[in-house]
Amino acid sequence: MNLFDKFETGSLVLPSGQVDFAAVAWSPHPTFEGVALKHLITAENTGGAFSYHLVRLGPGKKIGLHIHHPQLETHEVVAGGGVCVNAGQELPYEPGTISIFPAGIKHEVMAGPDGLCLFAKFIPALC
């Protein structure tokens, strides 16, 4: 079992209770085909302060060029591989890579032939 699989079935543990991630459904990305999202920790859990999401890109799929104006975003690559364009620079994505996108920075992500799995975090929360 890889790290991505562990987060997919892990849990959020708080003094007020626990959220089992296995019970959180995958959702197709509303814009980019072949991309799925699992919203692990949402604005509802954090009062809008931050959110955490698993992101799965199928082989050869991509999250096209876009900007998050109010949010700082981070990616932690946990499985697969690909390429990220961050502020015009092409960066290799492989397990163990972390990338940071300040608010307002254009970026896109392209999966390699084995697909790509990310742990994405947003400050303030995306949703």
- Number of structural domains found in the chain: 1
Structural domain boundaries, residue 49: 3-123
Listed residue (96, 35, 22) closest to 63, CA to CA: 35
Give the pLDDT of the chain (127 residues) as one tens digit per residue: 677 788 888 888 878 888 898 999 999 999 999 999 999 999 988 999 999 999 999 999 999 999 999 999 999 999 999 999 998 999 999 999 999 999 999 999 999 999 999 999 999 998 7
Contacts with 75 (C-beta within 8 Å, 6 or more apart), sequence order: 55, 84, 93, 97, 98, 99, 101, 109, 118, 119, 120
Say if strands 51-57 and 35-41 run parallel, antiparallel, or are unpaired: antiparallel
Q: CATH number for the domain including 112? A: 2.60.120.10
